[in-house]
Chains A and B, each alone.
Chain A
Amino acid sequence: MRQPQSCGELFRVFTLLALQGFGGVLAVAQHELVERQRWLTRDEFLEMLSVGQVLPGPNVVNISLMIGDRFFGWRGAASALAGMLAAPLVLMLALAMLYGQFADNPRVSGALRGMGAVSAGLVLAMAWKLVGSLEKNPLGLTTCLALGALTAGLVVGLRWPLVWVLAGLGPIAIGLAWWKLRP
């Protein structure tokens, strides 16, 4: 196992890692942090991922905070977070500006429509993969699918604000899971 020598090194490694992640950084993060830098074992990475998933916010951003915090406290967390976000943000805003200049060009707007359709497909694939893991959920697959359909229906069908949907269904789902998990 190795350790980052400074906050600067944390920033550098997280910047390089974020810039390699097209369509999601998680897989790159695992490769870079576990296999190349060897700051964490595979198990430690998976453990951080499962904690990161409980928390609100993007998983991979939560992981960068935890790793930074582990080596250099809050300064490390800030360095890792800045590394993860700064360079991609600049690149992204430059791209958004460029798009603004050419949005009226039919080829550019066509390309964006095509990419938008692909984005929709990528999200639906994430949903499909999640169905696989719900088979092991103590609520049972049928209840899970019913809760999922209800959530989607309230959000896009009735256009309820997300905060109502989560405040209404969240406690029911968590309560049900709590009951099913009783020893």
Chain B
Amino acid sequence: MTVPFHTADLLPLFLHFVMLSLLAVGGAITTAPDMHRYLVGEQHWLTDAQFTASVALAQAAPGPNVLFVAVLGYNVAGMAGAFAAMAGIMLPSTTLALWATRWGRSRRETRGVRAFTLGLAPLTLGLLLATGWVLTEPARDSPGAMLLVGLSAVVMARTRLSPMWLVALGAAVGAAGYA
């Protein structure tokens, strides 16, 4: 069950995404488990199925992957939610990127910067695994859907096929009632 969203909840929603923006060192998708924890587990604004459907919907449209945040926000609180979530996830990271670009370009090879990227790489791996786990939640009781998870993981890891085709296949299999 979900809990109704009030206008006063827009500020905490915005602030949660502001915080996640600064933690998204491995890309926005690595913060998806925390979005799930907050939106589904703690606030009950979305169900598991709605959460995964939001991420899936974002795969069906072109553009940077970060736009799944707008769909999550939209499904929590309509247009206002979409803009609160999107502004939250974009503002800190873009400000920081502009400020740090010149600083970072000349220091890319220094020990500190290299230790930062190399040290965080295994954490990014853990967060991607966690994201994969969270997204399979609605699929776990359906053999067809789990087969789709495995198939798309193998095809993407081993071939250079555009993910667009896999998304289309998933939509077709699901619409036919097998997922």
Q: Contact at A151–B127, with CB atoms within 8 Å?
A: yes
| Cβ distance A92 to chain B, nearest Cβ, rounded Å | 5
Q: Contact at A110–B24, with CB atoms within 8 Å?
A: no
Q: Contact at B22–A56, with CB atoms within 8 Å?
A: yes
Q: Which residue on chain A has the smallest CB distance to residue B177?
A: A110
A-B contact count (CB 8 A): 384
B residues contacting the other copy or chain, number (CB 8 A): 108
Summarize B's interface: helix, strand, loop or mixed: helix
A-facing residues in B20-64 (Cβ within 8 Å): 20-25, 27-29, 31, 33-34, 37, 41, 49, 52-64
Q: Contact at B97–A117, with CB atoms within 8 Å?
A: no
| Per-position 1/0 for B86-120, Cβ under 8 A of A | 10001011101110110011001001111111111
| Per-position 1/0 for A95-125, Cβ under 8 A of B | 1110110010011111111111111111111
Q: B112 contacts which chain A residues (CB < 8 A)?
A: 178
- The size class of the interface chain A forms with chain B is 35 or more
Q: Contact at B122–A134, with CB atoms within 8 Å?
A: yes
Q: B79 contacts which chain A residues (CB < 8 A)?
A: 93
A29 and B17 alpha carbons, distance in the complex (Å): 26
Interface flag for A175 (CB, 8 Å): yes
Q: Contact at A84–B64, with CB atoms within 8 Å?
A: yes
| Cβ distance A173 to chain B, nearest Cβ, rounded Å | 4
Q: Contact at B166–A55, with CB atoms within 8 Å?
A: no
List residues of chain B with CB under 8 Å of any chain A CB.
19-25, 27-29, 31, 33-34, 37, 41, 49, 52-67, 70-71, 74-75, 79, 82, 86, 90, 92-94, 96-98, 100-101, 104-105, 108, 111-136, 138-139, 142, 145-146, 148-157, 162-164, 166-167, 169-179
List residues of chain A with CB under 8 Å of any chain B CB.
18-25, 47, 50-62, 65-66, 69, 74, 77, 81, 84-85, 87-89, 91-93, 95-97, 99-100, 103, 106-131, 133-134, 137-139, 143-145, 147-153, 155-156, 159, 161-163, 165-166, 169-170, 173-178, 181-183
